[in-house]
Chain A
């Protein structure tokens, strides 16, 4: 049992967006993300990892400049595409189990 004060409160508060979370700020954030991501690859290109770098960063499978960028990007695209296929296979109505569980 929850206290009366603890229950959900639908009281209207200020609906104005904070200055740093607007549609324009969102667009600027996406542009900034591109800039920073490309900069991260350029830094590796200009300052390659030292030869004595720990094995985890120099694994044979990913031993080329920007390899982790490619892997991160491709992984997420594959993840989402396979997720869409999985949804086709496993998605059911939200009451699918409800009747049998009661």
Chain B
């Protein structure tokens, strides 16, 4: 990793605070500002938080600061290097976009939860030890669950609980891994971990749950569509990116991550094609994109790691933009079911344009930001000879254009006219979407700006004749396939339905198994307790009740004699055997 972060502000008076602290203080201040009279002040505090936070961030110097000694542990609250600074900058940017987007929300809890959530994410990426990471990890889990529950429906309550259980499990694994690591090495610093011991595997699993590894991915598609329009935007920005940061910090070059990431990039695209809830489609799309990043971390070369973190940076922008556009639709129409939408470009033309920019970015069209980061991972894959994984990710690239690039804008804003007529999204939502769209195009058009911020040294030029041509061909012929499949009615229609996924295991299979096994368990318990009761009663009869052989008429003198005989027998046995 190269030395200092290139963006620096040099203020003599800078307090160099941990970025999390500013967000937590802001959340505490917000809780004091209740009532209509302070609405404007609340908005000012909200907007000022990421701005002040970003200024503070850019004054930070490389090194470890704010070290708290607790018991025998040195808890590092501020470990500054290029990797943590890149994610720090990203989270401030994401928080600013999210706050602008949610500025009209009047529910204080959502704002407080969002600030604590963003602060916890920042705390996690600047934590220099695993114990501090654990606390911020759990802070993220609880505050983000509050954002899911903010949906205030039966489904959001249940989904939030499932979400919280999985994330607390992830935290538990993280803590267990940290304890074992401390026992083995006497060190809790959060640096390269690897998979040499049990601690490494537990930590990998903890990060994997937050990342959405296969079979642990369902919390994304289960919980994200249940939150509020604004809550989902925040949710999409932090948790999975902290997990990618943690993998890049702790497990770079772990080859197992290449097949895991490839599977993550591939399987969600099939679900996304048949999913009707367009925010859930974006959830599947998120797993797909995280798959690319996981592969990048697994390759572990400087180009691949830069590609992984650059793609995480870009994903916050384009996925945030897509969630914002679907949130605007949800806000106005009250649902985002592909089967019931269509023709919204008439009512929401600006939202349509911003959604199309997000779609072009996630599809990696030239001049949009996905183009300049996804290809770094692809290049690193082929350089290291992982041809099968490369072919898989190329398939996934075509697939993501299909579901996120075409399906989302087509079914929401074009397609058949649903006759739904609503107003355009509110001004603050449009502003947030507009800023995100401009950033998508800016980073895609001037990638050197992003490349200059990346942690590792590696030269990469995305705009070559061949790269542009192959990407254009891939995308144009994917679009052609969509057009043909749609015109010939082969493309599956949008249907109101539920598609079974890994969450079926704990939403239906386990409760179902419980229903089957509970009567069996009750019967067995009855059987055993019956048998045990019978045995106990017989023993009682034999030893205690007065008419039995050993108990009947037994006097204390007889008992002493019996003990004496037993002792004598024992002594005799002892002498004979020795």
Contacts and interface: CB of A to CB of B under 8 A. Distances in A.
A32 to B, nearest CB: 11
Contacts of B491: 80
B273 A80 contact: yes
A58 B349 contact: no
A21 B481 contact: no
Interface of B: 104-107, 154-155, 158-159, 269-271, 273-274, 331-334, 345-347, 349, 375, 378-379, 381-383, 387, 390-391, 394-395, 398-399, 402, 414, 417, 419, 421-423, 426, 464-467, 469-483, 485, 487, 490-492, 495-501, 507-508, 511
Contacts of B345: 18, 21
A24 interface: no
B304 to A, nearest CB: 12
B416 to A, nearest CB: 11
B408 to A, nearest CB: 15
A2 B106 contact: yes
Contacts of B379: 54-56
Contact of A13 (B270, B421, B464, B474): B421
A94 to B, nearest CB: 5
Contacts of B485: 76-77, 80
Contacts of B159: 101
Given A8-B333, A37-B476, A79 B390 contact: no
Pick the most buried of A60, A79, A90, A95: most chain B CB atoms within 10 A of its CB.
Answer: A79
Nearest to A73: B477
A8 to B, nearest CB: 5
Contacts of B465: 47, 49-50
Contacts of B107: 1
Interface in A1-55: 1-3, 6, 8-18, 21, 30, 33-34, 36-37, 40-41, 43-44, 47, 49-50, 53-55
Nearest to B277: A94
B101 to A, nearest CB: 13
A96 B498 contact: yes
B492 A59 contact: no
A16 B395 CA distance: 39
Nearest to A102: B154
A100 B507 contact: yes
Nearest to A55: B382
Given A18-B346, A73-B480, A100-B511, A44 B274 contact: no
24 contacts: A8-B334, A34-B480, A37-B480, A40-B469, A50-B465, A53-B464, A56-B467, A72-B473, A76-B402, A79-B395, A79-B402, A80-B273, A87-B499, A90-B501, A91-B274, A91-B497, A91-B499, A91-B500, A92-B500, A95-B498, A100-B507, A101-B154, A101-B155, A101-B159
Given A6-B426, A98-B155, A101-B154, A76 B495 contact: no
Interface of A: 1-3, 6, 8-18, 21, 30, 33-34, 36-37, 40-41, 43-44, 47, 49-50, 53-62, 66, 68-73, 75-84, 86-87, 89-98, 100-102
A1 B36 CA distance: 13
Nearest to B391: A61
Contact of B466 (A2, A50, A79, A80): A50
A89 to B, nearest CB: 8
A44 B497 CA distance: 43
Given A14-B346, A37-B476, A89-B500, 11 more contacts: A16-B346, A33-B476, A33-B479, A40-B469, A44-B473, A56-B378, A61-B391, A72-B473, A77-B481, A79-B270, A87-B274
Contacts of A61: 387, 390-391
Given A55-B379, A59-B387, A76 B492 contact: no
A9 B158 contact: no
Nearest to B390: A59
A42 to B, nearest CB: 11
Contacts of A13: 346-347, 421-423
Given A44-B473, A92-B498, A100 B508 contact: yes
A9 B269 contact: no
Contact of A75 (B155, B398, B496): B398
Contacts of B333: 8
A43 B421 contact: no
Contacts of A34: 480
A78 to B, nearest CB: 8
A2 B178 CA distance: 43
B421 A83 contact: no
Given A44-B469, A53-B466, A73 B481 contact: yes
A30 B410 CA distance: 14
A59 B106 CA distance: 54
A8 B423 CA distance: 8
Contacts of A96: 498, 500
Contact of B423 (A2, A9, A18, A59): A9
Given A55-B383, A76-B398, A91-B274, A69 B492 contact: no
Contacts of B482: 76
